[in-house]
Structure 1
Amino acid sequence: MIIKAKPLPPFFFRCGAILIGWLLKRRFNKLVISDVDVRPDHSYLLMCNHFSFLDGILAYYLCAKVLKKKNVMKHLYIMSLKKQMQKNKWLKYCGSFSVDPGKRSIQESFDYAAEVLSTPGNVLLFYPQGNLESSHVRHIQFQDGLREIVPQVKGHCQLIWSSNLMEYFESTKPSIYFNLLDCGTSREFDFEALKQNVNTHHRLAIAKNIRFTKEP
């Protein structure tokens, strides 16, 4: 049995966004978002590369700046490992629901994710890699979860990818670059094409953020 989510009400999400924005601006030199066209009256599957323990906070900030600011977002849901939710019971009250890889309940988690994405305004934060990797890996390895979730979505769902990269350059504080990509909708979903498009975008994002270095 999965642990289901209790997403934050809009007022508390806004309060959290203000606090997180303040903390991130103290911790980081720059937070740079390359914007993307957001389709109204959709749900949103936000996919990011998984490179640090700060990923959830960074994605929360991204949702506030891109989706909440454009007034298309109602509730944020996050797929989280069951063992983490059992240790941190407060996670369910921030929109987390459990997934337990290798167990029978994983299909229930996928079904629940599709149900969440079948409601316009809901946002599901999803890390396709399934594991932590450096933000500078040249290839994003996708697990099969998306193949199970997206075809079940009823209604209109926009798929958005963000390659989140951290660099220092001339500052003692790091900067975060959010490189967004519109991956189409659930009705156009092609898993192989999505993987190819994301990886092309990710390599271009790395090249852009490296600045002057040209690789063979």
Structure 2
Amino acid sequence: MIIKSKPLTPFFFKSGAWLLGLLFKRRFNKMVINEVPVKPNHSYILMCNHFSFWDGFWAYYLCRKVLWKEGGMKRMYIMSLKKQMEKNPWLRYCGSFSVDPGRRSIKESFEYAAEVLAEPGNLLIFYPQGKLESCHVKRIQFEHGLAEIVPIIKGKCQLFWSSNIIEYFESIKPSVYFHMLDCGTANDFNFNALQQHINQHHREALQRTVRYTDELF
């Protein structure tokens, strides 16, 4: 059986985002977002690369800055490992629901995600890699969870990707660069084509941010 979520109310979502903003001003040099258009009256999946403790907080920040607008997102959900939710029960009250890879309940988790995304304004934060890897890897390998969820979504759902890259350059504090990509809607979904598109975007994001020479790409 999965652990279902209790998403934050708008008041607590905005309050949490405000507090995060204060923390980020102290912790990071700058937060640079390359935005993309948000389709109104859709549900949303925000996919990000998964490489650090900060990933969930950055996704939260990105939601508030880009997706939380009139006709956009209203509630945030996160698919989290069941063992993490059992250790940290408070995650449920921040929108997390459980997934337990390798167990029969994983199908229930996918169906719950699709049920959530059937309602306009709901947003799911999703990490398709399924594991931590450096933000500087040049190829991102997806697990198949996304391919199980998207085809069973009923309603209009827009998909986003963000390549989040951290660098220091001239500062003693790191800067975070959010390179967003509009991945179309659930009606356009093709798992293999999406993975190729995201990998091309991620390599280009690295090249723009990290300043590698062309030979390394």
- Range into which the TM-score falls when normalised by the shorter chain: over 0.9
Q: Where does residue 99 of structure 1 map in the other structure?
A: 99
Is the 8 Å Cα contact of residues 46 and 161 (structure 2) preserved in structure 1? Answer: yes
SS of residue matched to 1:26:
helix
- Cα shift at 1:214: 3.0
Question: Residue 138 in 1 paired to residue 135 in 2?
Answer: no
Q: Give the AA of the match of 1:93.
A: Y
Runs of 4 or more consecutive aligned structure 1 residues displaced over 2 Å after TM superposition: 211-216
Q: Where does residue 54 of structure 1 map in the other structure?
A: 54
SS of residue matched to 1:215:
helix
How many pairs align? 216
Deviations 1:14-46 (A, max 9, x none): 000000011011100010000101100100000
Q: Where does residue 42 of structure 1 map in the other structure?
A: 42
Question: Residue 16 in 1 paired to residue 30 in 2?
Answer: no
Q: Where does residue 179 of structure 1 map in the other structure?
A: 179
Q: Give the AA of the match of 2:113.
A: A
Q: Where does residue 89 of structure 1 map in the other structure?
A: 89
The alignment yields a C-alpha RMSD, in angstroms, of 0.9
- Cα shift at 1:215: 2.6
| CA distance in structure 2 between the partners assigned to 1:36 and 1:25 by the alignment | 23
Deviations 1:59-97 (A, max 9, x none): 000000001145511100000000000000000000000
| TM-score, normalised via structure 2 length | 0.98
SS of residue matched to 2:173:
coil
Q: Give the AA of the match of 2:196.
A: Q
Structure 1 unmatched runs, 5+: none
| TM-score, normalised via structure 1 length | 0.98
| CA distance in structure 1 between the partners assigned to 2:70 and 2:84 by the alignment | 31
Distance change >3 Å, CA 70–CA 32, structure 1 → 2:
farther
Is the 8 Å Cα contact of residues 41 and 71 (structure 2) preserved in structure 1? Answer: no
Q: Where does residue 113 of structure 2 map in the other structure?
A: 113
SS of residue matched to 2:123:
strand
| CA distance in structure 2 between the partners assigned to 1:58 and 1:69 by the alignment | 18
| CA distance in structure 2 between the partners assigned to 1:52 and 1:212 by the alignment | 22
Question: Residue 166 in 1 paired to residue 166 in 2?
Answer: yes
| CA distance in structure 1 between the partners assigned to 2:140 and 2:116 by the alignment | 25
Q: Give the AA of the match of 2:184.
A: G
Identity over the aligned pairs, expressed in percent?
A: 68
- Cα shift at 1:118: 0.6
- Cα shift at 1:210: 1.4
SS of residue matched to 1:149:
helix
| CA distance in structure 2 between the partners assigned to 1:194 and 1:25 by the alignment | 34
- Cα shift at 1:213: 3.1
Is the 8 Å Cα contact of residues 159 and 185 (structure 2) preserved in structure 1? Answer: yes
Q: Where does residue 197 of structure 1 map in the other structure?
A: 197
Q: Where does residue 206 of structure 1 map in the other structure?
A: 206
Q: Where does residue 156 of structure 1 map in the other structure?
A: 156
